[in-house]
Structure formats: C-alpha cells, structure tokens
Amino acid sequence: MVESLKSPWADEKNLDIELFDNLALKIGGLLAGQPSGTVGAVLADVVATWISGHCYSNPEAQEKLRDDLLALHITTVRRLIPLNEIIGLEFGGSQ
C-alpha cells in the first residue's frame, strides 16, 4: 500500500490485508450500482455501529474515544480517495 494512503491505525501486525481486501470487495459488490444516497446511508450506519461499540463507564472518556475514532476514520477516508479514483479509472469506473 502506498505509505501516504496507509491507514494511520493499520500497522502490519494489526491489519490482516487479505481479510481487508476480501471484506472490501464483498461490501463493495453489495453496494455497487445502488443509489448514491443509499450507499452513503448504509456506510454511515456501519460507521455509527462501529463507533458505538466503543463504550466506557466514563462518559467523557467514551466521548473522546469516539471523537478520536471518527477523526481517524475521516483522515483515512481522505487518504484513500485518490487511490480509489485511480482504481476506478483503471477498471472502468465513472467519475
């Protein structure tokens, strides 16, 4: 993976690249061809489910962790956009 596009939390010992690729392809296949608004809503729900699973008894710590996860997620998405644009163009995707 290109270093500048690498997820900030995805060091090699914690990220199973093969599992990532398989899941991304499956999820992408399910969402392919669906209306953009539907895809956005589904992805938002998945991210909300992921973030809501991080719970602490301390509400302030929980809120900070969730804010940090969301910021990290947005950073990763921004880093992946250029790569996905290239992949889309190479495989006949539309802009």
Nearest in space to 47 (alpha carbons), one of 74, 83, 28, 23: 74
Cα distance between residue 1 and residue 47, in whole Å: 23
Backbone angles phi, psi at 45, to 5 degrees: -65, -40
33-54 confidence digits (pLDDT tens): 999 999 999 999 999 999 998 8
Mean predicted confidence (pLDDT) in 19-35: 92
Mean predicted confidence (pLDDT) in 14-43: 91
For residue 63 the two structure tokens come to 């809120």
Q: Is the pTM of this model over 0.75?
A: no
Contacts of 67-75 with CB under 8 Å at 24 or more apart are 72/8, 72/9, 73/47, 75/8
Of 14 and 48, more confident: 48
